[in-house]
Amino acid sequence: MNVKALVSELQNFYLLSFHGLLGLLRRPFYLRDAIEQMDYAGAGSFFIIILVSLFVGMALSLQLAAELSVLGLKMYTGKVVGISIIREIGPVAAALVFTGRVGSGMASELGSMVLGHQVDTLRVFGVDPVKKLVTPRIVSALVMLPALTLIGDAASLLGGYYIAVFVSHQSGNVYWSSIRDVLDFENVFSGSVKPFIFGYLIASISCYMGLSAKGGAIGLRGATTRAVVLSIIMIIVADFILTRILLYALGFSV
């Protein structure tokens, strides 16, 4: 891809993501479509988020307990697990799972609609495809990913508790006391901002790739793959940038 084509792709993506978000403020409001997308994104991802987050918390607690016990600092397992889950691992893990299940579904669904000329039919009848198709998916991601992240964080902390108490034989009261100590404004705010940014990126990238699909089944496969790969890359990059900004804004020195 040459520079001109790349700039054109970026311009089209920015316009689509901007108009998709702007659709929240303009009539008509496709509330039913948004609810359907939230059901697909939220209820459909509930159990897999819990399962993944539970084992992430267990693995993290197990590793930290083993390392900290060598230093005689096993009582800090809960604090380190809490900070790691709430600020970093929880939002990123939930976003990656959301990308694999929901983002790929968005891209493949919209790509199928493009290849089946359903998007062209919407234009013929005077319906804005971005307003009808993109905005409800952005809304669902902005609402459901933060909620799923909260649920995933709780599951991770419970998994960490199980390992800390029943495997490492630590005090449950000490573990939960450490968790309460890390639930301050800085940690909660940092962990709460990221899911909104991740959700917007996932929905925008997936919708753009789906609407850009062409070339039949092979083109649809390529669009879905690009949507997932680019979303994963942008989640990691955005996590680093957001972490740096938040640390600076909240007064942490690094």
pLDDT of residue 120: 85
In angstroms, the CA 159 to CA 164 distance is: 9
Rounded to two decimals, what is the model's pTM?
0.91
Owner of token pair 């929905």: 203
What is the DSSP secondary-structure string of 90-133? HHHHHHHHHIIIIIHHHHHHHHHHHHTTHHHHHHHTT--HIIII
pLDDT of residue 1: 58
By CB atoms closer than 10 A (0-12, 13-18, 19+), residue 97 is buried
Express each pLDDT in 126-150 by its tens digit: 888 889 899 999 999 999 999 999 9
Residues of the chain falling short of pLDDT 50: none
pLDDT of residue 52: 95
pLDDT of residue 233: 95
Q: Is the dihedral of CA 117, 204, 143, 224 positive or negative?
A: positive
By CB atoms closer than 10 A (0-12, 13-18, 19+), residue 190 is buried
